[in-house]
Structure 1
């Protein structure tokens, strides 16, 4: 009987090991395929039930140096920073240095309507404060320069509120920068020092910080607007004083896994306060985190985007799932990758991205597609340049369109395809634009 039980346990263990090996292979195939298509260039860490299933770099940390991403590569995080700011605020509240019910006017007496905006409103994006990253002129010319508190606050302080505080939801980087300034006033220390003292140091997050632009480290990644087989474009660095408590943090996959483990063990702040952070207020948003569900289990996640980088951190506490995807080539496909990773972990259907192969089309044939197309809200100008077809949406630069088959073209720098339509005389009369599983039609107007 004992031999039979041992055999059953052995068989069960082998089956589990085989299933785990299969999961790991699927995860690596998924990320490798996206990497070959230039739609994931970064480092991934994926865990389930406390075990690291995959921890691997894909693509280049720095193209000009031929340096590849690995498990130690350092990336900017963008808005993944917000959950660290939120937990810092809760920690300061535990130490009675502030309260989430405090009014903004307590810290900035001259802030317009500051007596009706609470710290909780800032944490949950329900303050109505104008989002300074919507200021196009500032984002195009000023984000690369150091900005004082006064300069940054001037971008949103005197703007009308989008709505009465607490009544609606609107994402506001301004609100999170203000949280950083409030933390500094409450604790009488710089925001970055507070995060280091309360979070980074206790968790031994030794490769995390804020001033990425001036970071001197061989593992530091270069941020790119795009990378493809033909070219790449380096993105200029955003100054940490501009993104500040809303998005300035840099880190590694390994350090973010330490953060996940701390949350699992209710470290830094109490279990009750972690639960407060996880409680949605409006629009599935808690304190610096988006809370929804997958497979009937609570999912906590947040993405981030900053010049040259796009990131996501997904956690499913019940199954000790942690998915960290850090990309230094700015491809918005990262959200779809995260969903596919979850599908693999939970044995749900998923599809690998399609590998599209370009064919050569004579320039004389490409001329039939040129013209302007009305997309109801913007136009796309199609032209031929250096023997290649290009598409240029209004307000943007031109992008090369590669032919996959007759009348069907695709971009390599984004998940975008264009199908040209024809009328009764077989003349091109419009296009169908496919982008991230959505489609819209446009008529040829010139």
Structure 2
């Protein structure tokens, strides 16, 4: 009888091992497809219930030196910094060094309307503070240079609030910078030293830091943007850490970020009550430094990041101890689609392997009729379509320029995100009346407007 039980146990262990190997191979096939399509170049770590299913690098961390990405490669994680900042603030709350209800005026008495802006407003993007990244001149000409707190605050401090604090939601890097500026006034430590003391050091995140400009390491990834052909081979400048600061200055590795996930799962930094509060949507599916969504009936908490030459996504299904970490040293827009397909693999849901799509030729006369303005009122989003040198180009009012490739005369996909599809609806006379946008989030209709 004991022998039978032992043999059954061995059989179950073997089956589990084979299943894990199959999942790993399936995940690798998916990631390689994105790499071959030119939409991913970086490092990935995917784990479930304490077991790493895939940890691998794809492509070069440095094209000139021909060094490869791997689990130790250091990337800028950009706005995936925000969960660190929010967790630090919650740690200071637990230490009674500040309160979520504290007014900004407590730390900056002369801040305009600072008596109506709370720490919670800053955490949840409901402060109404102008986002300094909207200042194109500054971002194009000054963001790569060191800036002082005073210089940075001058970009937004005296700008009118976008709305009365707490009444609406608007993503504000300035708000997160203010959280970083508050830290030394509340805790007596600079922002970076506080992150090291309360998060990096306890979790042994030894490959993470802030000053990417001066990081001297063979493990440092070089960020790239695309040339006129769409190839990611142009070395991107680096946004100075004093500019990105508490909104986006951290660099890290997939291995360190997995330590971060594990620490959060174990409530090693703040207690369960405070951490769970961060995961509760405040407005617009945003909590305290986390985007809250659902997938396959489970809550997903995540944050993505985008900065010159780099993209990141850090997604977690906390109830199942699932973690997906994607760090990329090209400016790909495909990270959300990749994450959702990875989760489809983990949860045995249907998905497709991305294939390289070949566009067809459509005459300039046909393309020209699609030029004009289209609007999705509920977001709100306004997109201008232009014809440039025989190519249809989309200009959203709050996003990057995107070139469209034709699948046929009325259906298109984005050149740099082939999963993003656009179809035009025509009236009886052949005039466009709306367009259908389809991506990983779902379909949207944009109506043509004057």
Question: TM-score w.r.t. structure 2 length?
Answer: 0.86
Q: Which runs of 5+ in 1 are unaligned?
A: 385-389
Q: Is residue 398 of structure 2 the alignment partner of residue 413 of structure 1?
A: no
Tell whether the 8 Å contact from 1:80 to 1:247 is kept in structure 2 after alignment: yes
The aligned counterpart of 1:42 is 42
Tell whether the 8 Å contact from 2:128 to 2:161 is kept in structure 1 after alignment: yes
* Distance in 1 separating the partners of 2:98 and 2:425: 61
The aligned counterpart of 1:253 is 254
Q: Which runs of 5+ in 2 are unaligned?
A: 375-383
The aligned counterpart of 2:377 is none
* Distance in 1 separating the partners of 2:151 and 2:90: 27
* Distance in 2 separating the partners of 1:28 and 1:343: 14
Deviation at residue 357 of structure 1 after TM alignment: 4.2
Deviation at residue 316 of structure 1 after TM alignment: 1.5
Tell whether the 8 Å contact from 1:370 to 1:383 is kept in structure 2 after alignment: no
The aligned counterpart of 1:387 is none
Q: Name the CA shift for 1:103/1:417 in 2 (closer, same or farther; >3 Å).
A: closer
**SS at 2:373 equivalent:** coil
**SS at 1:160 equivalent:** coil
In the TM superposition, 1:195-274 aligns within 5 A as 195-226=195-226, 230=231, 232-274=233-275
Tell whether the 8 Å contact from 1:421 to 1:430 is kept in structure 2 after alignment: yes
* Distance in 1 separating the partners of 2:194 and 2:401: 44
**SS at 1:127 equivalent:** coil
The aligned counterpart of 1:381 is 387
**SS at 1:212 equivalent:** coil
* Distance in 1 separating the partners of 2:126 and 2:266: 29
Q: Is residue 161 of structure 2 the alignment partner of residue 161 of structure 1?
A: yes
Q: Is residue 99 of structure 2 the alignment partner of residue 99 of structure 1?
A: yes
Q: CA RMSD in A?
A: 3.2
Q: Name the CA shift for 1:221/1:277 in 2 (closer, same or farther; >3 Å).
A: same
Query: Which among 415, 430, 439 is matched to residue 436 of structure 1?
Result: 439
Tell whether the 8 Å contact from 1:43 to 1:326 is kept in structure 2 after alignment: yes
The aligned counterpart of 2:325 is 324
Give a deviation string over 1:271-296, Cα, whole Å, max 9, x none: 32222222222222221112333333
**SS at 1:96 equivalent:** coil
**SS at 1:376 equivalent:** strand
Tell whether the 8 Å contact from 1:191 to 1:245 is kept in structure 2 after alignment: yes
**SS at 1:157 equivalent:** coil
Tell whether the 8 Å contact from 2:309 to 2:329 is kept in structure 1 after alignment: yes
Highest CA radius of gyration, 1 or 2? 1
The aligned counterpart of 2:381 is none
In the TM superposition, 1:217-366 aligns within 5 A as 217-226=217-226, 230=231, 232-357=233-358
Question: TM-score w.r.t. structure 1 length?
Answer: 0.86
The aligned counterpart of 1:78 is 78
